[in-house]
Structure 1
Amino acid sequence: MTHSDTPKPTIHVLMVDDHKVVRSGLRMLIESHPRMKVVGEAGKGSDALAAASREHPDVILLDLVLGKETGTDLIPGLLAASEESRILVLTALHDEEEHRRAVRLGAMGVLNKEASTELMIKAIEKVYEGEFWLDRFMTASLLAEMRRPAESKKQEPTEDKTARLTAREREVISLVGKGLKNKQIAERLSISESTVRHHLTSVFNKLEVCDRLELLVFAYENGMVAVPA
């Protein structure tokens, strides 16, 4: 069997939505794809956290409205319960600020429930592969948000910022761009997680960004990592 013939791994999905009929429909759609398997579902926060801790899914489909609970507030707990999981928000909530907040807290994408099945499957695959799934409007909004605090002060040219990066820091940025988390980056580069954190802190300071999302937007905008297809 050639490398190209090697079957791709199954993507394990956890669904978090407070409507059972929605979960049933999503399960049917997701499991119609040969590469995907639903490993759990939850209708409230406590069940979602327990399922994430137990199943360690590849992708968590998360609604932002869970009865009286807010799905956004669950994101840090879900990522703590299953560090390697990636969260894709699937919601009918048209609240751009809440969408941005979800991404800030660690979600890797936002998709409207009205999206086609094909688009949902593609979004799950892309998020699983470590790419952000954001529409152009949200990307532009995040860029504007990044630039707003800097408008009142003189900015150092981008070339000067990137010129200060070490070769190792550029490697770390490249791996962040591929969706790897600190533990995976440490394993890939044969260094400790604390060293990865040190490199990221240095990168954030040199590029004047606040977090991984701002780093990715900066890196995409300046051609440091490939823009997701």
Structure 2
Amino acid sequence: MNNNELPIKVLLIEQISIANYGLEILINKQQPLMKVIGSFNCCLNAIPTLENLSPDIILLDIDLYSEKESQAALQLIAMRNAKILILKWIEDSTIYDKAILAGANGILEKDVTLNTILKAIKKVHEGQLWLDQAYLKKLISKMSYKNFEKNDIRNENKLEKLTPKEKTIFFTMTMIENATLPAKVIANKLNIRESTLRNHLTSIYEKLEVANKLQLWNFVNRHK
């Protein structure tokens, strides 16, 4: 790590105090690469602090037994203050699908290794999604079935809003099978800088009325 590079600022939101403590020790051992800047046991307490703490990554354990907390978690994700990694402790809850669709950047399963947690933080900070490909395909399939067929004409009209360069990016993405492919790799395929790609993607998101990379991938998937 170069001296002028800043550490990845991580915020912990974990219901179980001992898990919070363990994650904090693990992450702080990685300094100067990353550090914990705050820890909370619920979203309702964390949300008011986000502007001041300004985290890069939030590790989020969603309280599935509290409607207020579940809604607060989705609100936090939608705020786009940081990239979100969901800590998944229970199988088959629709709240995780909702979290990803709201803009969360990945899911860490309950049996994940410590090294995988650290790798996920780094990759998500670099702009990647941290999602199992099988889960991702299943989720895109759900989204497509529920939302796309009745909106075919409307979505074709949205594509007409794209500039020629944006259309090139869009149709290049239709030829890429891996939705978690890093932006740097996609930029290389297009022979443009990663920063240029990100600027184009921001414009594409707005014109296609999608909130995040996964929703864009769903849109792309329907045009293959």
What is the TM-score of this pair, normalised by structure 2? 0.69
Q: Tell me how far 1:140 sits from its aligned partner.
A: 1.1
Distance 1:171 1:76, change over 3 A: farther
Q: How many residues align?
A: 199
1:134 counterpart residue number: 131
Could you tell me how far apart the structure 1 residues matched to 2:110 and 2:147 are? 35
Which of 85, 88, 94 is 1:97 aligned to?
Answer: 94
SS across alignment from 1:60: strand
Q: Tell me how far 1:31 sits from its aligned partner.
A: 1.3
**Higher mean C-alpha displacement, 212-221 vs 147-156:** 147-156
Q: Tell me how far 1:200 sits from its aligned partner.
A: 3.5
Distance 1:146 1:28, change over 3 A: same
**Higher mean C-alpha displacement, 71-80 vs 90-99:** 71-80
SS across alignment from 2:129: coil
1:58 is the counterpart of 2:59: no
Could you tell me how far apart the structure 2 residues matched to 1:67 and 1:97 are? 13
Distance 1:84 1:211, change over 3 A: closer
Which of 102, 105, 109 is 2:106 aligned to?
Answer: 109
1:22 is the counterpart of 2:22: no
Asked whether the 8 Å contact 2:57–2:125 carries over to 1, the reply is yes
Distance 1:5 1:86, change over 3 A: closer
Alignment of 1:170-185 (within 5 A): 170=167, 178=183
Distance 1:98 1:22, change over 3 A: same
Which of 121, 142, 156 is 1:124 aligned to?
Answer: 121
Listed as ranges, the gaps of 5+ residues in structure 1 are 180-184, 205-209, 224-229
Amino acid at match of 1:200: Y
Q: Tell me how far 1:104 sits from its aligned partner.
A: 1.2
Percentage identity across aligned positions? Answer: 27
Q: Tell me how far 1:53 sits from its aligned partner.
A: 2.8
Could you tell me how far apart the structure 2 residues matched to 1:160 and 1:137 are? 30
SS across alignment from 1:18: coil
